[in-house]
Amino acid sequence: MEFFKYHSLGNDYILLDAMRSPLRLSPAEIQMLCHRHFGIGGDGILVMEPSERAFCRMVNFNPDASQAETSGNGLRCLAKHLYETGLYPHREMEVDTPSGVKKLRVMVAGGKVRAVEVNMGRPDFRRSSLPMRGEEDEALEVEIEALGGRFTATCLSIGTPHCVIFLEDLEGFPVGEIGPAIERNPAFPLRVNVEFVQVTDVSELRQRSWERGAGETLASATGAAAAVAAAERTGRCKRKVHVRLPGGLMEVEITPQGEVLTRGPARRVFRGELDEDWRERSRVVLA
């Protein structure tokens, strides 16, 4: 079976084409393919499927085999693949996801996709959208406990659930310890993505992301969108912001209609062919 490896700012994905033939992956197969020693390695798997609502549907699996509602960086990788392979050679496209149809725009130079804009939709600050337990309708600047510490958080959904925590110093913060503790906080019955953000000025944020089902990643587009939406809602930034992630720079803009746009690059790393016994190996390697 043919596969493609893409990344957007270091957030890397295995892309599988199931447009003509259905593909069903077991949890063990997903975990093996994403494993950086026993498999291809990646922050997730993107499966491209037929859709009645758009040109195609993108299903996104995390390395722990859970399914994500959507991925902004994954959509960027898919858009580059669709355009440059000629499957959908149009600069504006729509892709179906479990969280709805997303609008994408590719920016092309010399026949190559240099960047992709993804419309993430409107942020939803209601607790019910995540979901998140609590009495208030919205979770703005609320207190979250983790490992004996208390953190002020703003929580929202941008197609995926996010808990945004603003810090004075991001550099040495123990994301690998606090992130999973908040991800599995009882306040979030379906778990949550956690964004740790430092406001540099009103036009720039620095961010590290702990992603549900994946751990800390070099970039998260839904996380960057959530961080800017939370920062703008709480008066910390403008409506157009540069977000500095460990993997690079992303531009995020909130439109007058309240929709959040993310802009960033995508790159194909390689293409390959899985050995015929890859399904059998997945049952043995990770047993």
Domain ranges, residue 199: 127-258
The per-residue DSSP string of 13-57 comes to: EEEEE-SSS-----HHHHHHHH-TTTSS--S-EEEEE--SSSSEE
Secondary structure, 3-state, 72-109? HHHHHHHHHHHHHCCCCCCCEEEEEECCEEEEEEEEEE
Q: Say what the pLDDT of residue 127 is.
A: 98
pLDDT tens-digit series, residues 194-223: 999 999 999 999 999 999 999 999 999 999
Distance CA 176, CA 227 (A): 18
**Domain identity same for 90 and 203:** no
Do 273 and 233 lie in one domain? The reply is: no
Q: DSSP character for 236? A: S
User: What integer best gives the mean pLDDT of the chain?
Assistant: 96
Structure pTM? 0.96
Residues 241 and 277 grouped into a single domain: no
Let me know whether 180 and 112 are in one domain.
no
- Checking if the pLDDT of 287 tops 60, the result is no
> Are 190 and 165 part of one and the same domain?
yes
* Tally of domains within the chain: 2
Q: Same domain, yes or no, for 185 and 228?
A: yes
